[in-house]
Amino acid sequence: MMVRRVSLFIFISVLYSGIKAQQRQMYTQFMYNKLSVNPAFSGNDRHTCMTLIYRDQWRGFPGAPKATQFSINLPRVGNHLGFGFNVEHQSIGITQKTTIEGAYGYKFRLAEGELSMGMNISGRQYIQDFRDPRLFAIQGLEPDPAIPADVMTRRVFNTGFGIYYNTNLMFFGASMPRLIRSDLDFDTNNFFSSEVRHLLVMGGGSIAIEKDLRITPHVLVKWAEQSPFSLDLHTSLIFKDKYAGGLTYRTGDGPGDYGESIDLVFTFQVSDRMMIGFAHDITLSKIRVADNGSLEMILNYCFLPRKMKTVMVNPRYF
């Protein structure tokens, strides 16, 4: 138990001691909630769609990350304007973060598809609870004046932009959700930690194999300042536009590792309006000796008009 508590403290210290690394929460089932990746996707559904996603990362590891996100993609206004909202809560160790984000997209026809340009404005509240009983030190925490025995909060704001292009058979998007290096230090007299710029590039397509069977490859490229880029490579088989199963390989390994994880993804289209999904990440990196993989669940619900009975092409992807 002592070893795990020490590991928790070291883990938190590494993530929040001013180094510049991946700061955004990433989800295995990003292809089902592209609004959280790219603000330009707002309004692409043409009707109101809500997405709820929960991620329990590195299960069994003390203080491991957990995240819940709720997204609303509103119906398009006219032929050009789209709006959406994301609310997310994350916890890792003694730190909690709540994000509220609004997204806007402007769309127009281009060749055989549609091009959208968007922007987002976000606000975040960070909370660090140094009274958490999981924190442990051999000589106690009290003698160290660098460790406050209190709850500390910090609020920051940011803005970003994105582009998104799609046809009936493929999509491509790129976004930089945070442009401002907002100060993350709880001590306002110092400036060691900051939000860094992230570049997210995603793409995918749909290939018909038989009448009721399609293959849908997806890729997500993630890069943050002064950090190595990583890839999510995903492929699913979809049967009758209702059942889908696929695999994701995620890079981001350390020396001697074979990657970050291999992820199993399954989804079920319950009705025209509702889809549920499940993902299990099998850890490949060295942290696998302390965790039981990661679990992710998603629920998507769209408010389709009752009179709408036509079958949509790739309703969840493009």
* Alpha-helical regions (H) of 166-308: none
Q: Residue 174 in 3-state DSSP?
A: strand
Which is higher by pLDDT, 139 or 297? 297
pLDDT value of position 196? 85
pLDDT tens readout for residues 26-39: 899 999 999 999 99
pLDDT value of position 310? 47
Which is higher by pLDDT, 288 or 253? 288
Give all strands (DSSP E) within 167-254, no chain letters.
170-176, 198-205, 207-210, 213-224, 230-239, 243-250
pLDDT band at 216 (very low <50, low <70, confident <90, very high): very high
Per-residue pLDDT, averaged over 250-266, amounts to 85
Q: Residue 32 in 3-state DSSP?
A: helix
Nearest to 229 by CA among 238, 219, 239: 219
Amino acid making up residue 292: N
**pTM recorded for the entire structure:** 0.85
CATH topology of domain 2-287+294-302: Porin (2.40.160)
pLDDT tens readout for residues 82-131: 999 999 999 998 899 999 999 999 999 998 899 999 999 999 999 988 88
pLDDT value of position 22? 53
User: Where in the chain are the domains?
Assistant: 2-287+294-302
Per-residue pLDDT, averaged over 252-259, amounts to 74
Check whether 4 has a pLDDT greater than 60: no
